[in-house]
Every structure is written in C-alpha cells, then in structure tokens.
C-alpha cells in the first residue's frame, strides 16, 4: 500500500500501479503526475463520492478499483477512459448507471453490493465484455442487448429481485458461470437438519485457498475428545460475489457429500 505523503513528494514517479487507502474524501490531483505510466489505480476503502471529470488524462489506465467508498452513481468520467478495461466499484451506494459511464473497451464490470435497479442497454454494446458481477443489487431485469455479448463468460446476479431468467442467457456461446441464487425466481427447498459445531471447538491453521467469497483454512475439529481434520470457509462479508453466504451453505448441504468423503460439517 502506498502513502499520500509519498505521492505528493513525487516518490512514486514511474509506477504502473497505485494503491491508496487512507480515508480520502477527494481524488488527489497528484495522481495525474503518474499519467505516463499508471495502468492500475486502486482507491478502495476510502470515502470518495466522485471522480474528476478529466479522469481520461490517465491515458494508460487499464484497471480501476474504487470499492468500499460512498458513490451513489457510476461516474461518467470513467466512460471517457480509452484504455480502461476493468472497473470495480463494489460495496458503494450506487443507484444509477448511465450509458456514458461505460468505457468502450470494458471487459470486467464489478458492481457487487450496491443499490442498482436497472442497467442501460448500452452495456450490451461492449463487445469485449467478459465478466459481469452484479450480486447484491435491486435488479428486476437484465438488458436484452447483453445477448450480443458473445465473449461474456461469467454473470453473477445473485441476491437481486429477478423473477425470471431471460431465454437469451442459454444462447451466450462463451458463458461458463452463472450464479443467480437468492432471487424471487428461486424456490426454497427444504434441507435436512445439520449439526452445528461451536466455534470454540475448532482451531484454525494454514490457509488452503481463497476465492471471491471467502478464505478456506485447514482446521482441527475437537469433537468429544477426538480430533478430526476439517476445512473451514471464512466468508468475506454479508454479500459476496455469488450472493449471501447462507445460499452457498444451503447449496452445499442440499448437494450432500460424495461417497467416501468425510462427514460434512457446518460451523
């Protein structure tokens, strides 16, 4: 993580990636001094509500992360950045997304955990679009123009207000991942009761892996004097890329365990 003091002192000249998370309420104009080299800008975890109108001065910018801030709309200046391909504004307060806010070379759009009720048709006119992460919003429909996005391979729309899935989803040639749990279209299925394990009966050890929704750690379960090896998933938040952790846990419980696999546990 970089510091604002180093940025203002000119000590970051020539860098390609800038990470600033220091309670910013305004965009530091000194960032423009890095325009000749800056490709990745991460301003997540601040208090920003806007971006400068001339953001396009960062002519080499390819990746922009501004998650965990206080935006209420997707800034239209983002759409003016000619090389911008990945845009992430997760966990803001975004209610509006205008067509003008979508950069022409957009490949990934990450708007998880916001308040978006609708998306512009222009989104389907981004031919390079590959990943669309929209879980935890208020969407009731998806733009029909997305049927034209033949490179679209991942769509995450869990925890919205969708009552049906559009037919064109099945016609997307590259689609490999679709997550839509916790929408009105999903009927709840009863599951068999599962034993709850007190947290104090688990001891966590090394990390085994990490995904979009959480971290998997090796654990030992202390069960009635016996010790059993286990894997425990620690979720990153109440809303993840695939919706609520409760939906993922319910799916795992409903699927059961493969033959020869250890007993499934819930902490």
| The pLDDT of residue 248 | 74
> Is it the case that residue 81 has pLDDT exceeding 80?
yes
Q: How many CA atoms lie within 13 A of 58 on its CB side?
A: 27
Instruction: State how beta strands 214-223 and 202-210 pair.
Output: antiparallel
In tens, the pLDDT along 171-230 reads: 999 999 999 999 999 876 666 677 788 888 888 889 989 877 789 999 888 887 788 888
> Is it the case that residue 149 has pLDDT exceeding 60?
yes
> Is it the case that residue 265 has pLDDT exceeding 50?
no
| The pLDDT of residue 171 | 95
| The pLDDT of residue 237 | 73
> Is it the case that residue 264 has pLDDT exceeding 80?
no
> Is it the case that residue 267 has pLDDT exceeding 50?
no
| The pLDDT of residue 176 | 98
**Which run of H or E residues covers position 87?**
strand 86-88
β partners of residue 233: 216
In tens, the pLDDT along 45-69 reads: 999 999 999 999 999 999 999 999 9
Using alpha carbons, list the distances in angstroms from residue 89 to 15, 47, 62, 92, 166. Answer: 23, 12, 15, 6, 25
The confidence band for 260, taking pLDDT boundaries of 50, 70 and 90, is low
| The pLDDT of residue 220 | 87
Mean pLDDT of 244-258: 72
| The pLDDT of residue 196 | 82
Q: Which residue has the higher pLDDT, 259 or 242?
A: 242
Phi/psi of residue 232, nearest 5 degrees: -120, 130
Mean pLDDT of 2-26: 96
The answer to the question of whether 233 is labelled as a binding residue is: yes
Residue 220 CA to residue 238 CA, distance in Å, equals 25
Question: Which DSSP string corresponds to 137-191?
Answer: S--S---GGGGG-TT--EEE--SS--SS--GGGGG-TT--EEE--SSTTSPP---
Contact status, residue 162 vs residue 139, Cβ threshold 8 Å: yes
In tens, the pLDDT along 82-129 reads: 999 999 999 999 999 999 999 999 999 999 999 999 999 999 999 999
> Is it the case that residue 137 has pLDDT exceeding 60?
yes
> Is it the case that residue 266 has pLDDT exceeding 70?
no
Mean pLDDT of 160-169: 96
């Amino acid at each position: 993580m970089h510091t604002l003091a180093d940025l203002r002192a000119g000590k970051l000249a020539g860098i390609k990636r800038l990470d600033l998370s220091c309670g910013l309420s305004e965009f530091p104009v000194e960032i423009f001094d890095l325009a000749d080299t800056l490709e990745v800008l991460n301003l997540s975890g601040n208090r920003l509500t806007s971006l400068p109108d001339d953001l396009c001065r960062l002519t080499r910018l390819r990746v922009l992360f501004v998650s965990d801030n206080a935006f209420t709309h997707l800034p239209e200046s983002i759409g003016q950045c000619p090389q911008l391909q990945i845009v992430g504004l997760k966990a803001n307060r975004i209610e509006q997304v205008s067509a003008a806010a979508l950069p022409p070379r957009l490949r990934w759009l990450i708007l998880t955990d916001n308040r978006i009720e609708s998306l512009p048709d222009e989104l389907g006119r981004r031919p390079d679009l590959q990943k669309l992460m929209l879980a935890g919003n208020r969407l009731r429909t998806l733009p029909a123009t997305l049927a034209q996005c033949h490179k679209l391979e991942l769509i995450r729309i869990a925890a919205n207000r969708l009552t049906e899935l559009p037919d064109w989803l099945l016609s997307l040639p590259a689609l490999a991942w679709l997550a839509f749990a916790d929408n009105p279209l999903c009927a709840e299925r009863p599951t068999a009761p599962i034993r709850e394990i007190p947290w104090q009966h688990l001891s966590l050890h090394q990390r085994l892996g990490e995904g979009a929704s959480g971290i998997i750690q090796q654990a030992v379960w202390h069960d009635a004097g016996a010790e059993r090896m286990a894997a425990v998933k620690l979720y990153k938040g109440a809303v993840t890329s695939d919706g609520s952790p409760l939906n993922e846990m319910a799916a795992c419980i409903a699927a059961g365990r493969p033959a020869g696999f250890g007993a499934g546990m819930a902490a």
